[in-house]
Amino acid sequence: MTHLLIVDDEKHFRTMLVRALKSQGYRATAIDDAYALASAVAIHRPDMVLLDLLFESGTSGLEMCRNLRTWNPVPVIIVSVSSDEATKIQALDAGADDYIVKPFGIEELLARVHAIQRRLARTVTSDTALKIGDLVVELDVPSVTVHGKVTHLTRNEHKLLKALVIAEGQPVSYSALLSHIYGRGADKKGERSAIRVLVKQLRRKLGEDLSNPVYLLTEAGVGYRFNMNPALRAIG
Amino acid sequence: MIVLGCAVLAHPGVTLFCGLLSFLCYDFFLVPPVFTLQVSSPIQLIDPLAFLSVAVVTCIMAERSRRRTIQAAIYREADELRGTLLNLVSHNLRTPLAIVKTALTSVLALNTMPSESRMLLLDANEETDRLNRLISNVLQLSKLDAHAVQIDKDWNSLDEVISIVFRRWPEAIQDKSLTAQFPDDLPLLNFDFALIEAVLTNLTENAFRHGCPPVRINVIVQEAEVWTVVEDRGKGIPPQHRSQLFQPFSTSKASGIGLGLAVCKGLIEAHGGRLWATFDPTRFIFALPLVAYPEETIDDASADR
């Protein structure tokens, strides 16, 4: 049974989330301050951590996440009321695997939990191609098969697709994509638009409906994520 | 110099006194007959006027700039306070809402209840989302009032905004009661993604709540502008409400509080664009300026073709 550790200083939210997760068949433990995150992870050995960002005690969830990353690989999902793009980017930079903005539906949270679990389960693989829904993404050759038809990709389109597919459904920030495609980490605004142009080209080649893409999803202000499970629809 | 110094540092009265004094000194030492306060020709009477007017003008200018500085400091403090308050309100309203939303969706996910009860919970869930959007609207409006909205423009594609807005109505997408059409070669536009997303979400929600599906979003290029048209098949807006449409708290429905349109208009105008409505059928249209996308930024994207 997947065990989740909830770190949130809102007592009612904490209690409800434990109850909600238990009702969905998960094991859940909760603590009220990220200050105790390290010891709680050591004692409870959770499979995943759901971490709030701001604590009344003044503890910073981001800092605790960064600390945790130095010694433990347990996946972290940031759970916060802040929908601010800069905060989301900081969360990913601090080593969080994903984030979710309150208020959220339980199915959104579980979709993210499943995505991380799938990624962990697939880590050891020497596949040269990945089958995702109607797509077969070649990892070594710049091409993709859409509905059985092979489509050639440009070098940069392929790099973009590969970076997203390898992240297995986790959001990939603009700066990560820029460094992956162009070999530089600078995330200047003018450079983000180069990624947007590439994304549009790639979406067309994947046969996406631009107003309602199934695979290549926009994470507004943050970057993109690849929906590895198109049967389950998009997650906000 | 002394006049200027006084104007900047001291009271206006002191400045005027300095102006007068400097004229007297000028007259006493430099105007013939020297070392008297007499003047030999009426032309020399222009000098005191010149001295006094310099004093008055510098005085007024200095006073204005002083007031501006003080006012700016007051505004800054008020903005900071407002920012802290807004954050507090947003946190305190969203946390209980988060509890309600997660609890509702958890019960819904269990799928173990009769369909009538399920419908009730679905309604409650939908209203929770609406309440969340209303909170965002109120916050956005108070920020606009305080001129505290930061417009963070970048080269964005409107179709990505549409795709994000569409995620809120998955059922409507499924049954084709929400559709979009835009030119295939729609260029990137310079706008704040989050703010335009908020506008389009508001207009789409209005179309569903106050109008009637199907709701269609059409993007068209009109000379130097890109128009986004949100159209529904409702009965339209009663004529008596049309002129007040974009005023805060004006609404044609008892259930609405009419914040959305005022916010939208403010946000679009902050982008140098326009928002207006046409009637029969109801269309809300926002126009964003079409500015040429700087060539050098696309080099990278097209370099490898």
> What are B63-77's pLDDT values in tens digits?
888 887 877 777 677
**B 222-251: CB under 8 A from A:** none
Q: Which segment of A168-177, A202-211, B19-28, B186-195 scores lowest on mean pLDDT?
A: B19-28
Predicted complex ipTM: 0.77
Considering only the beta carbons, identify the residue of B110, B173, B301 that sits closest to A194.
B301
Which residues in chain B touch residue A4, judged by CB atoms under 8 angstroms apart? Answer: none
* Cross-chain Cβ contact A192/B96 below 8 Å: no
Helix (H, G, I), strand (E, B) or coil at B64: helix
Report residue A167's pLDDT band, with 50, 70 and 90 as the boundaries: confident
Of B91, B128, B305, the CB nearest to A103: B128
Nearest CA in chain B to A103: B98
Poorest-pLDDT segment among A33-42, A48-57, B246-255, B259-268: B246-255
| pTM score, whole prediction | 0.71
Alpha helices in chain A (DSSP H): 11-23, 37-44, 61-69, 85-93, 106-121, 155-166, 174-182, 189-205
Give the integer Cα–Cα distance in Å for B95 and A223. Answer: 26
Closest alpha carbon within chain A to B217: A211
CB A76 within 8 A of CB A65: yes
Q: What's the pLDDT band for B23 if we cut at 50, 70, 90?
A: low
Taken in order B168, B171, B173, B177, the sign of the CA dihedral is negative
Cis peptide before A171 (omega within 30 of 0): no
Looking only at the bridges linking them, the beta strands covering A3-7 and A135-138 are unpaired
Residues B100, A103: C-beta atoms closer than 8 Å: yes
Count of alpha carbons within 13 Å of A17, Cβ hemisphere only? 33
Question: What pLDDT sits at residue B6?
Answer: 58
Best CA proximity match to A141, nearest among A159, A125, A122, A163 = A159
CA A13 to chain centre: 23
Residue B275 Cα, gap to closest chain A Cα (Å) = 22
Q: CA–CA separation, B196 vs B44, rounded Å?
A: 65
A187-196 pLDDT, tens digit each: 666 688 889 9
Among A22-36, A106-120, B15-29, B97-111, the range scoring the smallest mean pLDDT is B15-29
B133 shares contact with chain A (CB less than 8 Å): no
pLDDT of A44 reads: 95
Main-chain dihedrals φ then ψ at residue B280, nearest 5 degrees: 55, 80
Residue in A102, A197, A199 nearest the CB of B98: A102
Closest partner residue to A23 (CB to CB) among B96, B106, B164 is B106
Q: Is the pLDDT of residue A236 over 70?
A: no
pLDDT band at B301 (very low <50, low <70, confident <90, very high): very low
Residue A194 and residue B300: Cβ atoms within 8 Å?
yes
